[in-house]
Structure 1
């Protein structure tokens, strides 16, 4: 989620986390930082070792992977399909690419903010802590530079002041920030995915508003989500559903009583996609996709395994007050190519 240039950290799965030496193949991987805790989990290390693997991981921004020299690595594991496709073309990786799990983007809101959005036709609630954000209506409010003070019912809450906006991460460096623009531009473009300079130019003014109103943006959804849960920051924050699901799974966390999860009626998924650089890398990517134990462990970190809903549905059964398990009423926006999305992000940042 924090997308930065270069490799910034290393986690060696199987070295200090209870590996008994049973692994026979060492696989080197560059991964998005949001998956570092998953690969460092002792249970994941044990499950991989039982299948004959020790995985050595280094973290990088998903989009920054395009600029890395990946010679000597077995796989790259960005958090979106667009940078994965770019890497696959660059390294001539055989298709299809394994996509072990994914997570949709959601908006976390304080209860007061959610109630005001509902009162003004910008959202709907189907439970105490869960609802739907109407993207078309929200983008209309953003286009008109509406403030919280102009919204009915906001006067009851002193914290709701200033321009109405969803806090997102820097789209030039952050995957979630870029996917936010992908979904917003799809809605603004009348349900068409941007595919040309003309398409990007047509939606650029509104995309610039969505970004410029925020001022300084957080570098990662991790930092933004921590601030939100602690009670700081903006009343509306774009995060990954996996972050919410992982927090709920821990059974702890301040601010849960005040948390409302709004699923945009048009959103974008973060498709965690493996780019195999060797046959060992492909085998590991397929193992992450198909092994029941590893799929179950991915759910522990809030990820939705590809190809089935049973694991996620079962694991999050106690949290349906917050989570839209079946993504009912949520439309998936196609994501532009990496080149188009980079251009869109540059124009949005001015």
Structure 2
């Protein structure tokens, strides 16, 4: 069975962009993408892929150029021009002249000594197969009518909205896939979830993915998108912490972790801050996180805090682990109850205001996505820990179908654009920049003050030590 290559994916993306530009006044982008996807699906299973983008563009352009109300009877001939057969009506049909023109265009651009009679026979066989398929199938009027394969994954909760998006569902269906996902904390995915019933696992960081890979002896992985850790707060809180030397305002506000650890070490409460009339409560200044025993975002927070507590050095070895343990454990033990996934505390931030959650550790993507949905209210502020870490959402395929999903999410142009709409950073920076600009979210274009996490083993040791303080 033919497998599309990266070169083919790039060619399909370019031809789609050309068609979108050509028909921008006639059809919405989604219609053009649907037509391209339908045309491409006709070549599923063909081992020879070299001419697929050329033929796909000609098929799609023919359909888009046809007036929506002027469907014609299409007559399909074999390449040998044997007796014709009449296909069903529809502007999406390939007529005999279309087939010959498509083949002619291919050969016109490929007339070299390398194009042998055998190659011509292969192209002819592809077109004959298209003709046979068309006599048995209805005209294209939307997404290809087929039953997509249903695959199952377990994902970090912050990606549930992405997989539930109807546009994502449609894009996957055009590629013959339906995905059903279950949410779980990333560390839960790596440690306690039964992965035998899933096709892929999609935690929110490299360390969690590495644990899965080690446990199941898997080398493959994909990182379709990423998101730095951030801290969501409110303007009155940001003003208080600016005066206390924690928040540094600017085009993109930063949160000084070293100064914050000083306040935590001295058990500073909110009502201790001078001139505090905005939030004079008798509780410690604490950033709300998820449960480090189950969630990746808390593990990333631990990576940041341990780095700062270790004199701005990545923790390595038992001595360094013990040296930072008392400082970092306090950041979690004082929170009381914590949730298993990042969705919970961020929802409380959006709905309950600064009373219960004046400072919340989140993924940048969550804030950007909420802004795009109109859920970010005036006075809500996004800050970036200094330093921060980049959470690399890493998909681990558990079988061949899971590997297909990893490749699809990493290479499909529409899925990458949709990921940006949900706040994720992808390899192409332009879609994310547009989403943040359109929704007035101040984010750093280039992440500079970013550190690496400790090694897998060190981070596990730190998490286990912090977990013991809960007991």
Q: Which entry has the higher C-alpha Rg, 1 or 2? A: 2
CA distance in 1, matches of 2:416, 2:162: 11
TM-score by length of 2: 0.64
- Quick check: 1:23–1:50 contact (8 Å CA) kept in 2? no
Structure 2 counterparts to residues 122-201 of structure 1, below 5 A? 122-127=246-251, 130-154=252-276, 156-201=277-322
Of structures 1 and 2, the one scoring higher in RCO (CA 8 A, sep 6+) is 1
Residue-by-residue CA offset, 1:3-23 (whole Å, 9 max, x unaligned): xxxxxxxxxxxxxxx986535
Residue 100 of structure 1 aligns to a residue whose secondary structure is: strand
- Quick check: 2:158–2:342 contact (8 Å CA) kept in 1? no
2:409 aligned with 1:288, yes or no?
yes
Residue from 77, 100, 109 that aligns with 2:233: 109
Residue from 79, 88, 108 that aligns with 2:213: 88
Residue from 310, 323, 335 that aligns with 2:442: 323
Residue from 325, 332, 338 that aligns with 1:204: 325
Deviates more, 1:134-143 or 1:311-320: 311-320
Residue 227 of structure 2 aligns to a residue whose secondary structure is: strand
2:350 aligned with 1:229, yes or no?
yes
Question: Corresponding residue for 1:39?
Answer: 163
Question: Corresponding residue for 2:363?
Answer: 240
Structure 2 counterparts to residues 60-71 of structure 1, below 5 A? 60-65=184-189, 66-71=191-196
Question: Corresponding residue for 1:273?
Answer: 394
**C-alpha root-mean-square deviation of aligned residues, in Å?**
2.3
CA distance in 2, matches of 1:61, 1:219: 6
CA distance in 2, matches of 1:72, 1:331: 36
CA distance in 1, matches of 2:369, 2:185: 21
- Quick check: 1:224–1:237 contact (8 Å CA) kept in 2? yes
- Quick check: 1:182–1:336 contact (8 Å CA) kept in 2? no
* Consecutive unaligned residues in structure 1, runs of 5 or more: 1-17
CA distance in 2, matches of 1:142, 1:72: 43
CA distance in 1, matches of 2:299, 2:180: 28
CA drift at 1:308: 3.3
- Quick check: 2:185–2:340 contact (8 Å CA) kept in 1? no
CA distance in 2, matches of 1:60, 1:108: 22
CA drift at 1:243: 1.3
CA distance in 1, matches of 2:295, 2:274: 33
TM-score by length of 1: 0.85
CA drift at 1:126: 0.8
- Quick check: 2:233–2:383 contact (8 Å CA) kept in 1? yes
* Consecutive unaligned residues in structure 2, runs of 5 or more: 1-141
Structure with greater helix share of residues: 2
Aligned residues: 325
CA drift at 1:90: 1.8
